[in-house]
Chains A and B, each alone.
Chain A
Amino acid sequence: MSKQKKIGFVLFLVLAFGVLLILNSHEVSGAAKQTVTVAKVKKAPGGLDDPAWQKAKAVNVPFEGKEKFAGKKTSVTTKAVYTEQEIYFLFAWKDATKSVTKGAWKYDGQKWSNQPGNEDRISLLFEINRINNFATKGCAVTCHIPEGAPNAKDGKFGTTSEAEKGDLWHWKAARSDPAGFADDTWITKISEKKGGRKSDAGKGGDKKNMTADKSMPMYTLAPGKKLAKNDILLVSHAVEITDYSVFTPGDTITFRMPNTPEGSRADIKAVSSYANGSWTVMLYRKLDTGNDDDVAFNPRKKYNFAMALFDDSGDEDSYDSEVITLQFSR
């Protein structure tokens, strides 16, 4: 080999090395945001303990408390996997109290009253269409905005324009989980009368179990039916109460009865467990539902999302995460 050819060969090697360097280096550029990597699996996880979850890297996402939880911190261990068709999330967090009552009715022998207590929840917000500055500020630009902001009104919230749309996944221990779903909703521009939160097309949500004068429950478990998880009465299993004399002091009945969702509102399925002071929740959905009110996941693309945790609390009292990057391994 002539000297010129040798030098040419060495230079070619340098060139190849340079290409490799570039391919590897672009992964490390950018700001420091937490990233949840969605691992690809051949077989979908069948449950919370499925071996498929071992392929996913667990990310401990920190949460900071707001309003009555101000100053408190917690965290949620997050994993995600996907198949050709579906995406699966697994969340685990410590919660000393299992809260699934959501104002359940209790009979004291004389009258019915709603028990104190709310429910545990976790929610996720993705962008369907880009929400201005969501990628950097997360829920601070959609949910936790100061009163007087263009997209805030009377405690309600939304986005600032119709072009900005978010996909809000809302797992509720009392109102959606017993039916095996997370409530599939979306947010858009706040209107004069209403907030920007909307339910996906189809049926779903829950029904209040109460008489017209709101003094007692109206429905009980239908004969031959069973209560769902956490002793929750589903709308589909309820029958109107005809004889209130059968109830004895201490009896309880579900106040917020989950509907079995249909249509686009039934996209997100849920499996959960509460044990040893911890919730473990699996949510899964088609990568692309084909519905306008859902984010369509393209595994070639990165997404931003943020989460909120509600510990036996209403919408205003929550723990919130920073915005997180969701990327798919290939």
Chain B
Amino acid sequence: MNNKTGNRSETLLERLALDVIVTRLQAFTVPADALTWNRFFGALLLVLVVLIFLSGAFMAFYYSPSPGSAYDSVDYALFTLPFGDVIKGIHHYGWNLFLIVMGLHLLRGFIFGAYKPPRQFVWVSGIFIMLLVPAFVITGDLLPWDQKGYWSTQVRISIIESVPFVGDFAIRLLQGGPLTGIVALTRFYVLHILFLPCLLIFLLVVHFNFIGHRGLSGALSGEITPRPAVSFFPVMVNRWLILFLCVTLVLGLISWHWPAPLGDPADPTDSTYVPKPEWWVLFLNQLVTIFKGPWSVIGSVIIPGGLAGLLIALPFIDSSPERHPARRKKLMLVAAMIAIALVVLSIMGYLEHFRASHS
């Protein structure tokens, strides 16, 4: 209180004109189990997206998107700049963790029937986010202009080129010509730091909008019971911030101890370099190895495209209200068979590409 006037002093929030927003956020409630010990993959993915965006933005301060200087700029940021290795490591390990958590998020949603009505479009928007992720990796891998990134890009370009009708056009659009040079690097950079993040943010907004409207998946029994709610701010925001701090700390320590790898500078004349596929595309790589020549489109387009189509169509194929996995045996069996096939293909790919390194 102001002693002279008797009027109440303005709080800091009021002075900043944020009081109304805070009051609204406090009044906004979300289910208490939206972020708990056994339901955290979605929140963890959001943490990782934020960390990847932030670390990427810091890296962009020092990155030079030109074949003559890209490698040196990354090398400088990684080994000379204070905490540069931690920033780069968070970006590198964050992506790898993102891929794992995204897979688990998908698996959990599948097992618990989280795609069932009324949440079909929560699932579909999530699948679109998942399908966008490889584009980040493809464009990001080239940026350090090292041997692995350059030659992995050549392999991917040859796969994209094999796609009927649109392959050549897609390559011209991506690279700006037949060779991977300065135009390609510039385009990959712009896609990686501008267009793809904007698209991802848009899809995340759509995803969260559907979650807001259709809610979280309920109990497996299908019983509709009132769920306890907590305020979005500060309860849910604080939980998320604790998760954010924990993940940042863990990734930071990992990055400090094991700096993110940076291979030799790209040498486009060194055709002896054989890039080894990332762990998460081993099965795709093996499909391309199995289906060769005129059949290559099966491994590069039809099977991966079919799997993506199945995932998108899943809520409409399996639209029964039954969510318990034990009572969806047929679907679980088909999914298990597909999963086993993917694991076997991945193991085959691992043995083919990595066994020689160990022997």
- Residue positions of A touching B, CB distance < 8 A: 3-5, 7-9, 11, 14-15, 18-19, 21-23, 25-26, 28-32, 130, 132-133, 135-137, 298, 300-302, 304, 330
Contact = CB atoms under 8 A, between A and B. Distances in A.
A9 B356 CA distance: 35
Nearest to B68: A132
A133 B38 contact: no
Contacts of A304: 264
A9 B104 CA distance: 12
B85 A133 contact: no
B279 A25 contact: yes
Contacts of A31: 147, 264, 272-274
B315 interface: no
Interface stretch (B179-187, B255-263, B302-310, B328-336): B255-263
Interface in B63-94: 71-72, 75, 78-79, 85, 93
Contacts of B356: 32
Interface stretch (B95-103, B153-161, B167-175, B289-297): B95-103
B142 to A, nearest CB: 16
A130 B254 CA distance: 28
A14 B38 CA distance: 14
B108 interface: yes
Contact of A18 (B78, B100, B257, B354): B100
B358 interface: yes
Given A21-B279, A130-B265, A136-B273, A29 B358 contact: no
A28 B357 contact: yes
A23 B258 contact: yes
B267 A5 contact: no
Contact of A28 (B78, B93, B273, B276): B276
Contacts, number: 89
A11 B44 CA distance: 13
Contact of B270 (A29, A136, A301): A136
Interface in B213-272: 220, 254, 257-259, 261-265, 267, 269-270, 272
A8 B37 contact: yes
Given A4-B38, A7-B108, A8-B108, 10 more contacts: A7-B111, A8-B38, A22-B279, A26-B261, A30-B147, A30-B263, A30-B264, A132-B265, A133-B265, A137-B267
A300 B261 CA distance: 10
Nearest to B219: A4
A290 B37 CA distance: 51
Contacts of B265: 130, 132-133, 135
Contacts of B258: 23
Contacts of A26: 261
B207 interface: no
B276 A11 contact: no
Interface in B119-154: 147-148
A22 B79 contact: no
B107 interface: yes
Given A25-B279, A136-B267, A298-B79, A32 B108 contact: no
26 contacts: A3-B220, A4-B38, A4-B220, A7-B38, A9-B38, A11-B104, A11-B108, A15-B101, A18-B97, A19-B100, A21-B279, A23-B254, A26-B261, A28-B358, A31-B147, A31-B273, A32-B357, A130-B75, A136-B147, A136-B267, A136-B273, A137-B267, A300-B79, A300-B85, A300-B259, A330-B257
A19 B97 contact: yes
